[in-house]
């Protein structure tokens, strides 16, 4: 028996989950769920505050009443740490116990939120400078980058295989509920306490402290691969992970689709923010409600997706989700006078996008609210099977690093989404097109997934065992 086989068998024995309690009777599961909820709440409260400030500060600094949109800068600042640190975070999550990393990350979150409080005071007193808040946002992204592989990698280690779809659906549901609350609360805090933003930081610090306490309820799990050595490749995609992806085409394709999905998803929140504050002339509070309602839809979609999966990776949900996202994005893209005549001049020649100059969008606040709810629901349908497949497919001793690679790929998508958003919004502004046209661009980019990504349904864990066996014998 080779040393690789010994290590694989030892890890499998350590990760035996057959004697664990049922999912909803497991205190450790609830501890992880609540910890993740508080973390997602803080991420989105803090980030949404800075996204909205990135619109209003620049608008006040320039001549006239033209609104400028610098949300992409905040997006880049938050995203870069995920690319820089996710690789080493995946290495740490496999070499050391994931529960310890979870707890340390929550302690670090308290320190980051204290710095954020200082940043809000500085913003208020120093001519609306966002520099300290951007530093705090960078550190928040760094903390989340180290938290991610441990958070998702620990689920297959502390839960039964048959519970993974429900667990992922439930955690994704509560995560997006946290996104709703964090995003909406940010808008109301900015509306009510724009000159006393330390109130927002006090909320963030309190939530971080609560999350640290709940993380202590997560059970300890043994290191998945304590013999793993730190090499330069640990900061990127390790060689064995590259080999795994090269040999497992469905896993590689799922990883690429996940990255593209997050590229497109990263463009939606700033598109909603700028639509609400300009085209629909809403305040920060109602704009944040628009952004938050997507989270309600995602939560419902994730919950339904987890229940429908019934212990399987149900790729049918991906088809439904991708088509639904395409349709709802197209609905969001239609300006106020969205009719064919508005596109043509007297000679029947194509002249411009409809709605130019009126600054409106045909759905209005209430129509957009319902459409964004369905957009979120279809997003949840799409996300659950893809994430469960990426979690369960790799062998046990590579799950943490696979999650890290997935996070890297996803955050490359998010990083590119900020640059793409900046380029497209510059074109929209230069051509004086209505802001709703951004949703048309996003819809066009999701079309290849709708047309070409049609994977077959797969039993949860069926390919996992074969992959683990092949890896152990190699």
Average pLDDT value for residue range 151-167: 78
Q: What is the pLDDT of residues 167-195, one digit of tens each?
A: 877 887 787 778 778 888 888 888 888 77
Domains annotated for the chain, with CATH where assigned, are 21-473 (1.20.1250.20)
Average pLDDT value for residue range 214-224: 86
Q: Does residue 340 have a pLDDT over 90? A: no
Q: What is the pLDDT of residues 251-270, one digit of tens each?
A: 899 999 999 998 888 899 88
Q: Does residue 354 have a pLDDT over 60? A: no
Least confident among 30-34, 183-187, 228-232, 322-326: 228-232
pLDDT at 327: 95
Mean pLDDT over each residue of the chain, to the nearest integer? 78
**High-pLDDT (> 70) share of the chain, %:** 81
Average pLDDT value for residue range 426-448: 89
Give the 3-state DSSP-derived string for the chain, with helices as H, strands as E and coil as C. Answer: CCHHHHHHHHHHHHCCCCCCCCHHHCHHHHHHHHHHHHHHHHHHHHHHHHHHHHHHHHHHHCCCCCCCCCHHHHHHHHHHHHHHHHHHHHHHHHHCCHHHHHHHHHHHHHHHHHHHHHHHHHHHHCCCCCHHHHHHHHHHHHHHHHHHHHHHHHHHHHCCHHHHHHHHHHHHHHHHHHHHHHHHHHHHHHHHCCCCCHHHHHHHHHHHHHHHHHHCCCCCCCCCCCCCCCCHHHHCCCHHHHHHHHHCHHHHHHHHHHHHHHHHHCCHHHHHHHHHHHHCCCCHHHHHHHHHHHHHHHHHHHHHHHHHHCCEECCHHHHHHHHHHHHHHHHHHCECCCCHHHHECCCCCECCCCCCCCCCECCHHHHHHHHHHHHHHHHHHHHHHHHHHHHHCCCHHHHHHHHHHHHHHHHHHHHHHHHHHHHHHHHHHHHCCCCCHHHHHHHHHHHHHHHHCCCCCEECCHHHHHHHHHHHHC
Average pLDDT value for residue range 295-324: 81
Least confident among 98-102, 241-245, 457-461: 457-461
pLDDT at 142: 92
Average pLDDT value for residue range 129-135: 88
Average pLDDT value for residue range 308-324: 82
Q: Does residue 351 have a pLDDT over 60? A: no
pLDDT at 60: 45
pLDDT at 11: 39
Q: How confident is the model at residue 233 (pLDDT cuts 50, 70, 90)?
A: low
Q: Does residue 129 have a pLDDT over 50? A: yes
Q: What is the pLDDT of residues 370-401, one digit of tens each?
A: 999 999 999 988 888 888 788 778 877 777 67
Average pLDDT value for residue range 211-240: 78
Specify which of 244-248, 334-338, 353-357 reaches the highest per-range mean pLDDT. 244-248
Q: Does residue 96 have a pLDDT over 70? A: yes
pLDDT at 126: 72
pLDDT at 104: 93
């Amino acid at each position: 028996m080779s040393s690789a086989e010994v290590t694989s068998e030892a890890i499998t024995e350590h990760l035996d989950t057959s004697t664990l309690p049922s999912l909803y009777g497991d205190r450790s599961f609830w501890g992880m769920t609540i910890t993740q909820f508080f973390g997602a709440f803080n991420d989105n409260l803090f980030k949404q505050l800075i996204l909205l400030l990135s619109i209003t500060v620049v608008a006040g600094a320039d001549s006239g009443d033209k609104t400028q949109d610098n949300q992409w800068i905040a997006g880049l600042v938050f995203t870069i740490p995920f690319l820089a640190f996710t690789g080493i975070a995946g290495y740490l999550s496999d070499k050391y116990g994931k529960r310890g990393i979870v707890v340390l990350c929550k302690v670090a979150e308290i320190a980051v939120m204290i710095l954020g409080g200082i940043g809000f005071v500085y913003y208020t007193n120093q001519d609306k400078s966002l520099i300290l808040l951007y530093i705090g946002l960078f550190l928040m992204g760094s903390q989340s980058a180290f938290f991610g592989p441990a958070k998702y990698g620990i689920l297959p280690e502390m839960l039964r295989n048959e519970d993974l779809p429900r667990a992922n659906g439930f955690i994704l549901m509560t995560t997006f509920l946290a996104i709703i609350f964090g995003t909406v609360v940010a808008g109301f805090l900015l509306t009510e306490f724009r000159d006393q933003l330390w109130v927002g930081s006090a909320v963030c610090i309190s939530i971080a402290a609560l999350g640290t306490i709940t993380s202590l309820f997560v059970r300890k799990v043994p290191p998945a691969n304590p013999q793993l050595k730190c090499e330069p490749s640990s900061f990127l995609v390790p060689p064995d992970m590259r080999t795994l992806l090269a040999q497992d085409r469905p896993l590689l394709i799922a990883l690429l689709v996940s990255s593209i999905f997050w590229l497109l998803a990263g463009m939606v929140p700033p598109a909603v923010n700028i639509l609400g504050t300009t085209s629909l002339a809403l305040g920060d509070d109602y704009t944040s409600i628009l952004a938050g309602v997507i989270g309600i839809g995602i939560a419902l979609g994730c919950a339904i997706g987890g229940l429908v999966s019934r212990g399987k990776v149900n790729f049918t949900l991906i088809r439904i989700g991708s088509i639904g996202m395409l349709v709802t994005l197209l609905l969001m893209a239609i300006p106020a006078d969205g009719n064919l005549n508005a596109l043509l001049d007297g000679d029947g020649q194509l002249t411009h996008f409809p709605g130019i100059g009126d600054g409106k969008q045909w759905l209005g606040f209430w129509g957009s609210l319902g459409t964004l709810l369905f957009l979120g629901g279809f997003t949840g349908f799409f996300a659950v099977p893809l994430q469960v497949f990426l979690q369960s497919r790799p062998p046990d001793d590579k799950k943490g690093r696979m999650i890290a690679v997935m996070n890297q790929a996803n955050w490359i998508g998010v990083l590119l989404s900020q640059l793409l958003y900046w380029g497209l919004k510059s074109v929209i502004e230069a051509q004086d097109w209505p802001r709703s046209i951004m949703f048309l661009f996003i819809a066009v980019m999701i079309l290849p997934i709708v047309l070409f990504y049609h994977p077959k349904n797969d039993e949860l864990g069926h390919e996992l065992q074969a992959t683990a066996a092949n890896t152990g014998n190699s």
